[in-house]
Amino acid sequence: MSIWRESAGFAVVGTIGFVVDAGVVTVLAAAGAGPWLARLVSFAAAVATTWQLNRRYTFKHRELRHTEKRSLGSYVAACLVGGGLNLGTYALLVAQIPLFERFLFLAVAAGSLAGMGANFLLARYWVFGGKS
């Protein structure tokens, strides 16, 4: 499968993951969970959802390099790297460039692109990097 098809599938799965993430954090916060606990649980739910969907659809034609359990661990690590890049990009742009401080959505978008790009490359070449 081409990198373009995989990236499109990854983007669709990422959108589903966002919906899961936002939905879980909203429900938990409304139920009285604090914002940090709600976010931790919602992030875990989104990662588990996107791992399953990417494994079954986006990268289904690839052989897993690791056991399923180790593959999940690698996927979580990749998501943490992507999340760090997302937040780091956002923080750097807001702190250094007045335009991004004024229009935060631009910094969110740049952070999201940085994180998604890293997550895709790590998923494609490391987590699901087996033969196609």
Write the DSSP assignment of 32-87 as a string of letters.
Answer: T--HHHHHHHHHHHHHHHHHHHIIIIITTTSPPSS-HHHHHHHHHHHHHHHHHHHH
- Residue range 41-87, pLDDT digits in tens: 998 999 999 999 999 999 988 866 666 777 888 999 999 999 999 99
Domain residue ranges in the chain: 3-127
pLDDT band at 9 (very low <50, low <70, confident <90, very high): very high
CA distance 54 to 60: 7
pLDDT digits (tens, 9 = 90+) for 103-112: 898 998 899 9
Kindly tell me if the per-residue pLDDT of 132 is higher than 70.
no
Q: CA 72 to CA 28: how far, in whole Å?
A: 24
Supply the pLDDT for residue 39: 86
